[in-house]
Amino acid sequence: MAKPPLPVEDLVRSYGPTLKYTPPGGWTQSARHAGDRLVKTHCCFCGQQCGIQLRVRENEVIGFEPWDEFPFNRGMLCPKGVKRYLQGSHPDRLLDPLLRTDTGFRKASWDEALAMTAQRLREIQDRHGRDSVAVLGGASLISEKSYLLGKFARLALGTRHIDYNGRLCMVSAGTGYKLALGVDRNPNPWSDIPEAQVVIVAGSNVAECFPITTDYLWRMRDNGGKLIVVDPRRTPICRNADLYLPVKPGMDTALFAGILHVVLKEGLEDRAFIENHTTGFEAVEQYVKEWDPRRTAEATGVPPEAIEKAARWFGKAERAMALHARGVEHHSHGVENVLAIVNLCLATGNIGRPGAGPNMITGQGNGQGGREHGQKCDQLPGQRHIDDPAARKYVAGVWGVEPDSLPSAGYTAMEILEAIHRGEIKGLLSICFNPLVSLPDAGYIREALNKLEFFGIIDFFLSETAHHADVVLAGSLQEEEEGVVCSGEGRVIKINKAVDPPGNAWADSRIIVDLAKRLGAGDRFRFASTREIFDEMCVASKGGTADYSGITWERLEKEMGLFWPVPSENHPGTPRLFEDRHFKHPDGKAHFLVAEVKPGGDPLDSSFPLHLTTGRVVSQFLSGTQTRRIGPLVDQYPEPRAEIHPELAARHGIANGELMTVTTRRASMTLPALVVRTIRPDTVFIPYHWPGRKSVNGLTHRTLDPRSKIPEFKSSACRIGKAAVPDGMNSSGQLNVLGGG
Amino acid sequence: MLGYEFYVDPSRCIGCQSCVNACGECGTHRGVSLIHLDFFDREWTTASTPMVCMHCENPTCAQACPADAIKKGEDGVVRSALKPRCIACSNCVLACPFGVPKVQIEMELMMKCDMCYDRTSVGLRPMCATVCPSQALMYVTPAEAARLRRDTPVNTFRFGNQEVKTKVFVYLPQGEDALAVEADVVNDLWRSTE
């Protein structure tokens, strides 16, 4: 039973989060030494993948220098990028493998830890079948590691259950784009944004989650373009919006149906494009007929005039873009929301041209690359489907195995946890994933983890999920291995190694290769370096949708990255897709698909009359395993607060800063109120970066989109009330948790 | 950096605090962030604005300094107070019309933004203007600024009867030629302490 061996407070005391404020050597050392190295690489955090130079002295990252020449961000960085270097040489860093004992964790040798991991996983498979163990990966891993992990699951463990935390991020967008356009990649490079005359930003807190994109949007406006923001909250990007559409959480499909309704009614569609390059338009046209502005306004909370204005601006523009992120995608109908946006772009012919197209804003560092080369439950390298016989034959050939030996599609991330909960999956190996903080219904996730017969985890800090592990394999930070990632633009870029893993920590790839050998698959994993993994990955991707076969590490550095597909070594890459109006379906057409307005999975009623929605703040990243250990980032936003409108606050007698309780059908939490007029009065917003009593994911629900299997983080039914000061809090409402808690 | 100027466009600021975090990484004042970032009224708006030292032609802080500790270089950049002279009296803090200088109590020294002269002297842009994700802080040539932006950069400010000319420019709507604060600052100061 994978239960934490000690109370969480004791584990926090030993393993953090500890707040680190100063670089190695302290502030009194001079900033620049003659012997320092500047390593050109990219930020370890979000999908923008800003270029940055890490300043390295001996074997420590001691600071950074902006990298002006990298074209995407030209030196710009958000606060996470500025302070990311503080994750190096951190007191919480795991320097040895750990084994759980009755009284905590003890250090172990690599041989003992790896032997036990391989043996326990194999024992479970021998008793319960090979699909009784699962592998979880992450979208912060370089592509070499995610490729390696996919191959490891299918060949070394032979399980069909491997999935990754991109399942909480990009899958609704990816599924929607594959259905409509035949490929899961952004159609446009970001340099197209300033060229657009109108940009809709839907469900994306750009200023906090993708700060560098702000500059692209401001430049678009400098060029005379108009910015339309669709969000239940007036986030900072709204300060220069030309039009703000305050949509009710989850009603994006209706809103975009209403916008398309007006476009068609006023004849602003591109008939020639629709007729020559698409299929399925008539059904969509028929469906949106009933979504007139009045009805749309009732459903969405957006005034009818605003719907008409948005439609006219978008429809009349020669070049219009629609950017979207998790706000529209984190729904049980996330794919519908995405399709509704794509339909609008297709109907107006906005695709395949500069400044025109639907685009997703990728969340995680390798959110794009991590979903291309076989880390997903239904995928083989090159963005191929695992049930496609030709794909199986080709990849099996590259791997030197029989096609029939490859497992078929397995469970998605949330389904893996549900299978653990019901006892079907009994062993788990996880890397780069903190499901206890990041998955919905945290109480249920905790129960599932407690049921595991064996839980091995690869990580560099002891995350809250790792508290449950039997074995913790001390792995590597992003700056400790060389490889590639694919940024949100679709640009494959080079991650350079700055330092070696400290202490007895190992590079992640070395750990996985060693485990493969111990599981008897050593002959398929003869990798001495990540470059060898990269070379095999390129071959495995050849001929697939995400074709990397013309990419070399040298080209990436020389050409500041390459946009895939790059099918040969003299191919220049593909910054903009569909310029030839040829879409990636067998018929070469883009497909209109009816995006049906559907209710959410946790409906509002008289007991739970408000929407609870979750998201991020600028100074924290995802489950906070890294950023909750960086002092200046924690100080900027130390703990969650619930944003509520003054009208709602007044109804419950809650003043700004006072403690309030938010309750859903699953759980409740108490936290300080942030009373602001920048949120809909029927909506409560809480950021999700914290564990335990600070975790809003204790309150969220497990309903998944049936196609993408993304959880519905963006709308849970809730009620609120004024709270008394409970036990465990001081009078100012601060939770009494150690360190970054 | 010869020919480069510093521009502030408050309307672009997204309050991310990149500048606040990056400022302390500057070599002349490591670990101490000197830039200001103001959130006006969070109940009503997310709007925020950064404030760097404006580097006045005739610095009020230097005029108010009883120890003659504040000097402007030939590059037009007004430096932090000279350590041997500064008596940490905070006259400059009170006098600066932009509210820029900070007295570091533990060091008994006034420190403020020095436009990263350790960086600009070796061809690197100031830290805050380099990292700023919205380019509310921008360090470019005037020609580049004119190419990039529609609004009008101004460096004349009127605080009641005091007119201040600065090295740093602030963007105002097209057609404006100066930023005038008409309020009676001194009387407002008394009112706020009543």
**C-alpha to C-alpha distance for A459 and A439, rounded to whole angstroms:** 18
Amino acid at A717: A
**C-alpha to C-alpha distance for B146 and B169, rounded to whole angstroms:** 12
Joined together, the tokens standing for residue A432 give: 């780069």
A72-111 tens-digit pLDDT: 999 999 999 999 999 999 999 999 999 999 999 999 999 9
> How far off is chain B from A28, nearest CA to CA, in Å?
7
Domain boundaries, chain B: 5-193
**C-alpha to C-alpha distance for A221 and B135, rounded to whole angstroms:** 13
pLDDT band for A403, please (50, 70, 90 cuts).
very high
Which chain A positions have a beta carbon within 8 Å of B45's beta carbon? 239, 677-678
Helices (H) and strands (E) in chain A, counts: 23, 28
**Mean pLDDT confidence for A47-71:** 97
Which chain B positions have a beta carbon within 8 Å of A656's beta carbon? 43
Quick one: CA dihedral A92, A98, A102, A103, positive or negative?
negative
**C-alpha to C-alpha distance for A666 and B44, rounded to whole angstroms:** 32
Closest CA in chain B for residue A28 = B30
A501-517 tens-digit pLDDT: 999 999 999 999 999 99
Is the previous residue joined to B84 through a cis bond, with omega within 30 degrees of 0? no
Which chain A positions have a beta carbon within 8 Å of B48's beta carbon? 236
> Please, are residues A410 and A162 in contact by the beta-carbon 8 Å criterion?
yes
**Contact call for B16 and A676, based on CB within 8 A:** no
**C-alpha to C-alpha distance for A387 and A408, rounded to whole angstroms:** 6
**Contact call for B30 and A31, based on CB within 8 A:** yes
**Contact call for B18 and A78, based on CB within 8 A:** yes
A281-298 tens-digit pLDDT: 999 999 999 999 999 999
- Which listed CATH number (3.30.70.20, 2.40.50.220, 1.10.10.10, 3.40.50.2300) goes with B5-193? 3.30.70.20
* pLDDT given at position A724: 80
A516-555 tens-digit pLDDT: 999 999 999 999 999 999 999 999 999 999 999 999 999 9
| pLDDT above 80 (res A732) | no
Q: Which candidate, A336, A370, A126, A358, places its Cα nearest to that of A252?
A: A336
Residues in a beta bridge with A199: A227, A321
> Please, are residues A457 and A99 in contact by the beta-carbon 8 Å criterion?
no
B176-186 tens-digit pLDDT: 999 998 766 56
pLDDT band for A34, please (50, 70, 90 cuts).
confident
**Contact call for B31 and A27, based on CB within 8 A:** yes
Please give the torsion angle defined by the CA atoms of residues A388, A393, A395 and A399, in that order, rounded to the nearest 10 degrees.
150
* pLDDT given at position B117: 87
A212 Rama sector, left if φ>0, alpha if ψ -120 to 50, beta otherwise:
alpha
* Percent above pLDDT 90 for chain A: 96
Residue holding tokens 């203007």? B129
Domains, chain A, ranges and CATH?
18-87 (3.30.200.210), 98-169+366-477+505-531 (3.40.50.740), 171-360 (3.40.228.10), 610-722 (2.40.40.20)
User: Cα A573 to the chain's mean position, in Å?
Assistant: 25
**Contact call for A237 and B18, based on CB within 8 A:** no
Q: Which of A32, A76, A621 is the best residue to mutate to test the B interface, defined by the most B CB atoms within 10 Å of its own CB?
A: A76
The length of chain A, given as a count of residues? 741
* Percent above pLDDT 70 for chain A: 98
Q: Which candidate, A135, A174, A138, places its Cα nearest to that of A155?
A: A135
Which chain A positions have a beta carbon within 8 Å of B25's beta carbon? 31, 63-64, 82
* pLDDT given at position A737: 45
Joined together, the tokens standing for residue A667 give: 């759980």
Q: Which candidate, A199, A192, A187, places its Cα nearest to that of A310?
A: A199
Regarding pTM above 0.90, the answer is yes
A602-647 tens-digit pLDDT: 999 999 999 999 999 999 999 999 999 999 999 999 999 999 999 9
A555-580 tens-digit pLDDT: 999 999 999 999 999 999 999 999 99
